[in-house]
């Protein structure tokens, strides 16, 4: 299960350093390359709660094998994709595999390890492996792209996924499905259609003269309609993905909104680092990956230190500090790009991003799951995870897609993207100030 979690986490960040190489191979620009990053996170975040429901209805082991197979096959397809459109399709399928497999994998851990120290150790390994996968994705991408080519960032996971499948067949016990009721397929499709249509509208708006004038507004209108229909479907469904009672908890709603806004800036910063190092400075993939090593080290350090800080400062102070650190990072990115400084000048921004991710996201996670009961713990955790992933995808689409669009070509794209991200962070800070936060303590954290 940890091996599966590692490669699922790696695939969130591993494409960042390889983006310029992928763009050069297929002859596509930066705004179109947004799909390679956000396709995975939109599909994964949008279908995550459906995946959790599937494991209850069909059985954990069966759904685990299904999701892992889809993820492995999609990784192979991405590595062999002969066209850019097929690569984007493979990334969407990778997200589908993640959404199906990960909830079942977590449920398997709970099933196999009894409550107490053994389960705590198993879940600690699970969380640590996820963090390592996210941060190592940057470095692994640089090595593989430079030495073997960008296709290997996807192909390298295939043999390990086969190991996961074999081990799951041999080691994971089967069980009878415990859930009942129907699957909210309409709600799931609308939840993924809204961000996909929004992404299509924003990206095509920056496509220049090659894009039909009617496509962006139609796509954006479709995204709004899908969002409204999702709320209507959830109100009428007997087994909704998100019960309407969830929307009556004001602190959780505000915490998830702030999570999406903070994650949007954080995810956009990863892409900006890559574009600056390779497109602006001309660094190779390996050099770019090594230059981003301080970011990986800082993220690991933040994951160790933040729980202690949260217990002392409280959730609101931590979140506001994280938002300020992220805003400082975006300002540093804009300044460094404006003066054309060397790659190491980005290190302060990387450290600020790590602090922002640790303080901001972990603090908001605490608020989003505070006061949960056995009946709503799964929904609260699922919505928070979806807000994180979909917020990150939306940030890359909106901040980077708009900032690097041809209509803004007269301005510095790094400055434009950073300005948009800071504006979103200001809104996140105002939202956080309106959250009534319970006293935080390390025992309240959920990894």
Q: Are residues 275 and 394 in the same domain?
A: yes
Within a domain: residue 36? yes
Q: Are residues 178 and 188 in the same domain?
A: no
Q: What is the DSSP letter of 398?
A: I
- Cβ neighbours of residue 214 closer than 8 Å, sequence gap 6 or more: none
Cα 272 to its chain centre, rounded Å, is: 16
Q: Are residues 173 and 262 in the same domain?
A: no
Dist CA 231 CA 219 (whole Å):
19
62, two tokens: 């069966």
What's the CA angle centered on 11, arms 258 and 204, to 5 degrees? 65
Tell the residue number behind the tokens 């102070």, with chain if given. Answer: 317
Give the SS3 label for residue 307: helix
Dist CA 272 CA 403 (whole Å):
10
Give the SS3 label for residue 207: coil
Q: Are residues 396 and 369 in the same domain?
A: yes
- Residue-level pLDDT at 441: 44
Q: Are residues 178 and 209 in the same domain?
A: no
Within a domain: residue 243? no
- Residue-level pLDDT at 445: 40
Q: Are residues 190 and 293 in the same domain?
A: no
Q: Are residues 46 and 172 in the same domain?
A: yes
Cα 15 to its chain centre, rounded Å, is: 13
In SS3 terms, 424-439 reads as: HHHHHHHHHHCCCCCC
Dist CA 411 CA 383 (whole Å):
37
Cα 446 to its chain centre, rounded Å, is: 17
Residue 261 C-beta-side C-alpha neighbours within 13 Å: 25
Last residue of a domain, one of 238, 258, 276: 238
Give the chain's domain count: 3
Burial label for 174, CB within 10 Å (0-12, 13-18, 19+), is exposed
Q: Are residues 167 and 209 in the same domain?
A: no
Last residue of a domain, one of 212, 238, 264: 238
Within a domain: residue 212? yes
Dist CA 9 CA 14 (whole Å):
9
Within a domain: residue 85? yes
The length of the chain in residues reads 447
Q: Which helix (H) or strand (E) holds 243?
A: none
- Residue-level pLDDT at 408: 54
Q: Are residues 267 and 380 in the same domain?
A: yes
Cα radius of gyration (the chain): 21
Phi, psi (rounded to 5 degrees) for 81: -55, 125
Q: Are residues 194 and 137 in the same domain?
A: no
Dist CA 20 CA 34 (whole Å):
11
- Residue-level pLDDT at 444: 40
Contact status, residue 332 vs residue 352, Cβ threshold 8 Å = yes
Within a domain: residue 5? yes
Structural domain that includes position 441: 249-447
Contact status, residue 30 vs residue 404, Cβ threshold 8 Å = yes
Give the chain's largest Cα–Cα span. 62
Within a domain: residue 291? yes
pTM above 0.95, yes or no: no
- Residue-level pLDDT at 402: 78
Q: What is the DSSP letter of 184?
A: -
The per-residue pLDDT of the chain, averaged, comes to: 82
- Residue-level pLDDT at 430: 93
- Cβ neighbours of residue 443 closer than 8 Å, sequence gap 6 or more: none
Q: Measured between alpha carbons, how far is residue 62 from residues 93, 107, 132, 176 in Å?
A: 18, 12, 27, 10
Q: Are residues 67 and 174 in the same domain?
A: yes
Q: Are residues 211 and 265 in the same domain?
A: no
Last residue of a domain, one of 146, 168, 183: 183
Within a domain: residue 303? yes
Dist CA 187 CA 194 (whole Å):
11
CATH number, domain containing residue 431: 1.20.1250.20
Within a domain: residue 155? yes
- pLDDT tens profile 86-106: 999 999 999 999 888 888 887
- Cβ neighbours of residue 128 closer than 8 Å, sequence gap 6 or more: none
Phi, psi (rounded to 5 degrees) for 113: -100, 120
Enumerate residue ranges in the chain where pLDDT < 70: 30-31, 115-116, 120, 123-124, 127-128, 131, 176-182, 206-211, 303, 369, 371-378, 406-411, 437-447
């Amino acid at each position: 299960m940890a091996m599966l979690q590692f490669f699922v986490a790696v695939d969130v960040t591993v494409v960042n350093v390889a983006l310029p190489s992928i763009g050069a191979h297929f002859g596509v620009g930066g705004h179109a390359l947004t799909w390679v990053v956000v396709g995975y996170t939109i599909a994964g975040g949008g279908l995550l709660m459906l995946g959790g429901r599937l494991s209850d209805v069909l059985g954990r082991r069966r759904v685990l094998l299904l999701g892992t197979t889809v993820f492995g096959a999609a990784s192979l397809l991405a590595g062999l994709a002969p066209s850019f459109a097929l690569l984007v399709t493979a990334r969407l399928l990778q997200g589908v595999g993640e959404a199906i497999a990960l909830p079942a994998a977590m449920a398997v851990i709970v099933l196999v390890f009894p409550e107490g120290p053994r389960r705590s150790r198993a879940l600690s390994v699970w969380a640590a492996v996820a963090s390592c996968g996210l941060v190592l994705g940057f470095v692994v991408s640089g090595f593989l792209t430079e030495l073997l080519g960008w296709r290997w960032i996807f192909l390298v996971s295939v043999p390990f996924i086969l190991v996961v499948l074999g081990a799951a067949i041999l080691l994971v016990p089967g069980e009878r499905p415990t859930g009942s009721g129907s699957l909210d397929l309409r709600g799931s499709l609308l939840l993924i259609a809204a961000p996909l249509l929004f992404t299509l509208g924003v990206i095509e708006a920056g496509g220049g003269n090659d894009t039909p004038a009617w496509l962006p507004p139609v796509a954006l209108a479709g995204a709004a309609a899908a969002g409204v229909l999702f709320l209507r479907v959830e109100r009428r469904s007997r087994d909704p993905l998100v019960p309407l009672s969830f929307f009556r908890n004001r602190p959780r709603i505000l915490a998830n909104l702030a999570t999406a806004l903070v994650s949007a800036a954080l995810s956009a910063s990863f892409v900006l680092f890559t574009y600056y190092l390779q497109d602006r400075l001309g660094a190779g993939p390996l050099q770019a990956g090594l230059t981003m090593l301080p970011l990986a080290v800082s993220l690991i350090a933040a994951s160790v230190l933040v729980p202690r800080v949260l217990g002392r400062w409280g959730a609101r102070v931590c979140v506001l500090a994280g938002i300020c650190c992220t805003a400082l990072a975006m300002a540093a990115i804009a300044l460094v790009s404006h003066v054309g400084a060397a790659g190491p000048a980005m290190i302060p921004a990387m450290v600020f991003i790590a602090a922002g991710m640790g303080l901001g996201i972990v603090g908001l996670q605490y608020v989003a799951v505070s006061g949960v009961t056995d009946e709503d713990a799964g929904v609260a955790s699922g919505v928070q995870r979806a807000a994180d992933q979909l917020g990150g995808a939306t940030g890359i689409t909106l901040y980077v897609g708009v900032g690097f669009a041809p209509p803004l070509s007269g301005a510095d794209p790094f400055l434009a993207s950073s300005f948009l991200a800071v504006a979103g962070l200001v809104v996140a800070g105002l939202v956080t100030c309106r959250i009534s936060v319970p006293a935080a303590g390390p025992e309240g954290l959920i990894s």
